[in-house]
Structure 1
Amino acid sequence: MSDADAEQISSVRGNWAKEHLQIYLSSGGTRGHIVDISSVGGHAVTTHCLIRCVGRKSGQVHIKPLIYGIVGGEIVIVASKGGADTHPQWYLNIRDSETIDVQIATQAFEATWREPEYEERHQVWSYMTHLFPPYLGYQTSTTRHIPVVMLKAIRPIEVFTADADARESPSAPA
């Protein structure tokens, strides 16, 4: 899928994504964690986390809601960008950082991250495509190898807020 196609899809779903993020943030995570995304090929009960990272070029804090799963005690997210030919910015940003902030419902953590390889990656990818079947179509629509990222919580932090840009993120580079 071209980046232009992905951008067009994003523009249609953009308001939904912004509303979802605002609901998650304004409720402190009591709403927005579980969302019905059956209308786009997902399941009626789909879990979402928030990730917070610092822009590698801008230095600005960015918060993004993403589908997640849990495998072996680690949080799993997928850098699909809807099957676009380029990686999502959040993925490029975390590659420049040792840690990332993640919130699941009403609990937030600083976490380390890694990308599983070989058989582990295959198993984790299979699990994530079960959670969100459209990932399979996303992978076939691009030549890009869609990254799978595993997060391991290392310490609790405060839940994210809508004014997160004003807060210095523990994951921010010094």
Structure 2
Amino acid sequence: MPNDFNQQIIDEFRANSGRVGGPFEGARLILLTTTGARSGAPHTTPVGYLPDEDRILVIASAGGGPKHPDWYHNLLADPSATVEDGVFTYRARAEVLTGAERDEVFARAVEAEPGWAAYQAKTSRVIPVLALRQVAGGPPNAASPGAALKLIHDAFRRELALIRAEVVRSGPGLGAQLRVNCLTVCQGLHHHHVNEDAGLFVALDGQPELAATLARLREEHRRIAALVERLQQVVNATDADPAEVRREVERLTTELEAHLAYEEEQLIPVLDGTG
């Protein structure tokens, strides 16, 4: 069973689609459910994570304590886990990173948040880093199609807000993890819009009254794709300039915010049968 502090975070996370206050406000957080190595019972723990394009990374810091956290031992015994990210609940498989890959990822984490180095300094154990890769999933955790659309959109809004703040704090150089964060959200936007173009919008094409709306949304997708490509180019440059990255993130955010607001205004009533 989670302790009282963890249970409060779990309850708040689930009640607010992944948003929590207190010490974890604004943090990238998941709920990780593992199978107890001894009990065989499910155990859910709030865990911070790092984006890593098609997977996420978790660090078994235990606050710099002398022992690895229980969830790490559980994953050693059974690498299958359930991840809740506030939008989706999905099955994942854990892989313990070793050698140079572990060290490179941990260095990225320390560069982005020096607190990880402080945890390592407090303990004689080498703090493990694990990758979680989705193996099965389902629809968004929402009560209706319109609510699902809003939930996905809000996740992009939150991630871009985090990246904007990280760019501001980045100093004269662009950190390796910040590069990954930017590229991960770009990848996510690309997949989301491709899926909308090939799925949702095609399903709505049979409604003549939506023709102009869908034409506008498809054109906005093309404009956003160009901004995403430009941001990727700037981020991938060897001597990436944080000021230029910030400008491109701001351009993308401004265009995307307008697009998301229009799409929600036009499509949520249709999807939920209220318009």
TM-score, structure 1 normalization: 0.70
After superposition, the Cα gap between the structure-2 partners of 1:98 and 1:157, relative to the gap in structure 1 and judged at 3 Å, is farther
Deviation by residue 1:122-172 (Cα, 9 ceiling, x = unmatched) = 221122224442211111111111100101101105789xxxxxxxxxxxx
Deviation by residue 1:32-87 (Cα, 9 ceiling, x = unmatched) = 3xx5648xxxxx63210110011111122111011101124211011111111111
1:121 pairs with one of 99, 102, 113: 102
Offset, 1:96: 0.6
Q: How does 1:132-147 map to 2 (within 5 A)?
A: 132-147=113-128
User: RMSD of aligned C-alpha atoms?
Assistant: 2.3
Offset, 1:30: 4.4
Between structures 1 and 2, the one with greater strand share: 1
State the identity %.
23
- Per the alignment, in what secondary structure is the counterpart of residue 64 of structure 1? strand
1:85 aligns with 2:90: no
**Higher Rg:** 2
Counterpart CA distance in 1 for 2:140 and 2:71 is 19
Residue type of the partner of 2:15? S
The structure with higher relative contact order (CA 8 Å, sep 6+) is 1
1:31 pairs with one of 15, 19, 38: 19
After superposition, the Cα gap between the structure-2 partners of 1:101 and 1:158, relative to the gap in structure 1 and judged at 3 Å, is farther
- Counterpart position of 1:111: 92
- Counterpart position of 1:149: 130
**8 Å contact kept, 1:52–1:63:** yes
- Structure 2 gap segments, 5+ residues each: 142-275
Residue type of the partner of 2:26? V
- Counterpart position of 1:65: 46
Offset, 1:16: 4.4
Counterpart CA distance in 2 for 1:159 and 1:129 is 32
Counterpart CA distance in 2 for 1:15 and 1:132 is 27
